[in-house]
Amino acid sequence: MKSMDRTSAPDAQLRIYGTVISTYTRIVQIVCEESGVTHETKATAANSPNNRHPFGKVPVVEVDGLELIETVAITQYVDNAHNNSALQPSDPAGRAVMDKWIAIGNAYLFPLFENGLVMPWIMHRVAGFDLDQDKIARALPQISRALGFLEAELANDGAWTALRSDNGETGAFTLADVFLYPIVRGLQLTPQGQVGISQCDALAAWLAVCENRPSIAATRWESEP
């Protein structure tokens, strides 16, 4: 696995235009690390005039002469073209489970966590705005329910991951883990998220196992303790 300085790598195979604390930028970085693809991240704000994403999001990626947007497409391309599709189950049922959890992460968990807790805390800690307590209070019941759902699914049958039962050594780590880790970890870095996740034994155990994965360690956000 080729690990490297994420922000400066002149000969990198893949270039990411994204923000350095972005969930989706990190998802691409993790897949690059898993696939042995060298990468660099060019700091680009979603709302900057330099951002080429037609819907004003990050990341935008250059790889193999392609310009790609949308993290599902980017990660599948990198895994297919550079990693023998090792992060995607080949059986249709396993693939459907993985796709289902990626969709849940993108459609429900990320917007809920990001708008309800992660961004209010970033705006407060990084930009110095007052903490939006009302927004947080409105979001907490739904975030609690979402954490309860994740915990029940994991405790029942392992949900999207087989990592809990085998300590991560079998290669059962898939794109579902890659997407869900930064989404859940971002929430855990907020005070309320940390308390919520500490009450979810299975979810906390899954996070801890992921943290031993070299690709996760190599892509830590600078803000992580």
Ligand X SMILES: N[C@@H](CCC(=O)N[C@@H](CS)C(=O)NCC(=O)O)C(=O)O
Between CA 116 and CA 104 the distance in angstroms is: 17
Query: In 3D, which of 29, 41, 24 has the Cα closest to residue 2?
Result: 29
Tally of CB atoms within 10 A around 130: 8
Instruction: Candidates 16-24, 78-86, 135-143, 144-152: pick the segment binding ligand X (CB under 6 A).
Output: 16-24
24 or 160: CB nearest ligand X: 24
Of residues 158-187, which lie at the interface with ligand X (CB under 6 A)? none
Instruction: Candidates 9-17, 56-64, 149-157, 215-223: pick the segment binding ligand X (CB under 6 A).
Output: 56-64
42 binds ligand X (CB under 6 A): no
Instruction: Candidates 19-27, 137-145, 165-173, 203-211: pick the segment binding ligand X (CB under 6 A).
Output: 19-27
CA dihedral 56, 62, 68, 69 (to 10 degrees): -30
29 binds ligand X (CB under 6 A): no
Total residues at the site for ligand X (CB under 6 A)? 9
To ligand X, the closest distance from the beta carbon of 151 in angstroms equals: 24
Instruction: Return phi, psi of residue 65, to 5°.
Output: 80, 5
70 binds ligand X (CB under 6 A): yes
To ligand X, the closest distance from the beta carbon of 45 in angstroms equals: 8
Residue 66, classed as helix, strand or coil, is strand
CB 202 within 8 A of CB 151: yes
Instruction: Candidates 22-30, 76-84, 128-136, 149-157: pick the segment binding ligand X (CB under 6 A).
Output: 22-30
58 binds ligand X (CB under 6 A): yes
CB 116 within 8 A of CB 140: yes
CB 143 within 8 A of CB 193: yes
* Contact with ligand X (CB under 6 A) among 57, 95, 124, 135: 57
CA dihedral 210, 211, 213, 217 (to 10 degrees): 140
Residues that bind ligand X (CB under 6 A): 22-24, 46, 56-58, 70-71
